[in-house]
Amino acid sequence: MEQTLLIYNTLTRKKEAFKPLHAPNVGMYVCGPTVYGDPHLGHARPAITFDILFRYLKHLGYKVRYVRNITDVGHLEHDADEGDDKIEKKARLEQLEPMEIAQHYTNRYHQAMDMLNVLPPSIEPHATGHIIEQEQLVQQILDNGYAYVSNGSVYFDVEKYNKDHKYGILSGRNLEDVINHSRDLAGTDEKHNQVDFALWKKAQPEHIMRWPSPWSDGFPGWHCECTAMGRKYLGDHFDIHGGGMDLIFPHHECEIAQAVASQGDQMVHYWMHNNMITINGQKMGKSLGNFITLEQFFTGDHASLDQAYSPMTIRFFILSAHYRGTVDFSNEALKASEKGLERLINGITDMERIQAGKESDAETHKFVAALRQKCYDAMNDDFMTPLVISYLFEACHVINTLIDHKAAISADDLAELSSTMRLFAFDLLGLKSEKGMNNDAREEAYGKVVDMVLELRAKAKADKDWATSDKIRDELAADGFEIKDTKDGVTWKLNK
Ligand code: ZN
């Protein structure tokens, strides 16, 4: 069924019908992690938000190229131009190659994303693997007159750019606001104006991560990598660029300026941003002592946590809020989320116990017939995952009434209910059951499989299909199963 998807575009500040530039292909770029520390909650939200987008676009039939970068050089949390490179600093402290640090935390990030059931992107380019592309971008901006070289570094000329184009269109700031809010930092004397940002930085003697360039031995400014790699893998114009709201300014604002200054127009059609996560109402930060890594959530090993919370509990919790709304983590909220997830998974598992009848009662049929499109409508309205979850909970309620024989359902309606719930809960929201099979359960399942194979043999015999019945007996015998046909039926045991 054709679905009309509405996406909220941060740039136009309204929901727009999604129309890819080159359907059925969709290009999507999301700012990935900076790899100098263990993955934490701040990493989980954008990864899960854009995983939903990735899954849903693919489900709608688009061929999605999803690029999510690894920032492994040069990035600083609040000011990309000044201070230490965090990867380098750690490398010096721990006497490691910077690339060892980056690789270690990239591996940790991948492990955590895997546990959260976040699908890997189509391409995961590293900033350090694209220095040439970034230098080419810097050169284009210089050639077009929107940058200048100062003491071996290259800076973007924001004032000049603002005269020809408008700086601040994404964040809604004007240049005066930006100037008034800029902090005066060391090294700004190299800049013509304190709002200018670095495109290339000359390396200080102690810098390990450095590359030759026409301007100096140095390294690219943080904003360059996403513009250069987005263009390389998705082209001059592509559909979606996403990230956390904290990246709107300065990172994405600078990306827009770089794109326009180098190619004359914007690269990105839809800008999408997920809101931030707070912990007990506070911003998460190392200095506040409420910084919790994903591993600490999974093990419960943190003073602020009452217990461990499974990866799916975290995922379910994040999806219980709309991606543009705030999420506040607390033990109470996470415990509620754990219960909600269990209720949903149990509902889906319990469906197997429902006996389908000849016909559904009117109310059940009406509910089942409307469920799928209601869930689609919620997803199509800028990914209203909390609404999808509430519909799935309504379905759990219907399932309970069916198990209690307080309602009736036909085989067709039961199949539709099951397929809708599985599609939205598992395939599109990416939830999964985390209950590990214990040995008893494994043994039981194993026995059921052997019984099923023997039933097939009995059917073959009844059909006088001796070839199949003999083949099943011989293959089972070869695997060590002893099959006996008795007057009470078939018995089996495993001789090992
Ligand atoms: Zn980025």
Measured distance CA(79)–CA(83) in Å, rounded: 8
Distance 101 CA to ligand 1 centre (A): 20
Distance from the alpha carbon of residue 33 to the mean position of ligand 1, in angstroms: 9
Q: How far is the CA of 61 from the centre of ligand 1 (A)?
A: 27
Distance 29 CA to ligand 1 centre (A): 9
Question: What is the percentage of the chain residues whose pLDDT exceeds 90?
Answer: 71
Tokens of 247: 């990246």
Q: Which residues make beta-bridge pairs with 221?
A: none
* DSSP secondary structure code for residue 426 in this structure: I
How many residues can be counted in the chain?
Answer: 496
| 3-state SS record for 220-248 | ECCCHHHHHHHHHHHCCCEEEEEEEHHHH
In CATH, what number does 6-147+160-175+224-274 get? Answer: 3.40.50.620
Cα–ligand 1 centroid distance for 448 (angstroms): 51
Would you call 157 exposed, middle or buried from its count of C-beta atoms within 10 A (0-12, 13-18, 19+)?
buried
How far is ligand 1, taken at its centre, from the CA of residue 230, in Å? Answer: 9
Q: How far is the CA of 75 from the centre of ligand 1 (A)?
A: 10
Write down the pLDDT at residue 84: 63
Distance 31 CA to ligand 1 centre (A): 4
CA of 130 to the centre of ligand 1 (A): 14
Ligand 1 centre and the CA of 258: distance in Å? 12
Q: How far apart are CA 188 and CA 176, in angstroms?
A: 18
Specify the amino acid at residue 321.
Answer: A
pLDDT at 284: 79
Given this model, what pLDDT does residue 492 score? 80
pLDDT the model gives residue 188: 59
Q: Compute, in angstroms, the gap from residue 320 CA to the centroid of ligand 1.
A: 26
Mark the ranges of the chain whose per-residue pLDDT is less than 50.
76-81, 186, 437
Sheet of 218-220, strand order: 147-150, 153-156, 197-202, 218-220
**Cα 270 to averaged position of ligand 1 atoms, centre (Å):** 15
- N- to C-terminal Cα separation, the chain: 53
CA of 18 to the centre of ligand 1 (A): 22
Ligand 1 centroid – CA 300 distance (Å)? 31
Cα of 358 vs centre of ligand 1, distance in Å, is 56
Q: How far is the CA of 457 from the centre of ligand 1 (A)?
A: 60
| Res 286: pLDDT | 66
Report how far residue 47's alpha carbon sits from residue 32's, in angstroms, rounded to the nearest whole number: 8
By C-alpha distance, which of 110, 100, 101 is closest to 32?
110
Q: Are residues 331 and 379 in contact, defined by beta-carbon separation less than 8 angstroms? A: no
**Region(s) of the chain under CATH 1.10.730:** 296-428
Distance 310 CA to ligand 1 centre (A): 29
> What fold is seen in the domain 296-428?
Isoleucyl-tRNA Synthetase; Domain 1 (1.10.730)
Distance 266 CA to ligand 1 centre (A): 15
What's residue 78's pLDDT?
A: 37
All CATH 3.40.50.620 domain ranges of the chain, comma separated, are 6-147+160-175+224-274
Ligand 1 centroid distance, CA of 223 (Å): 6
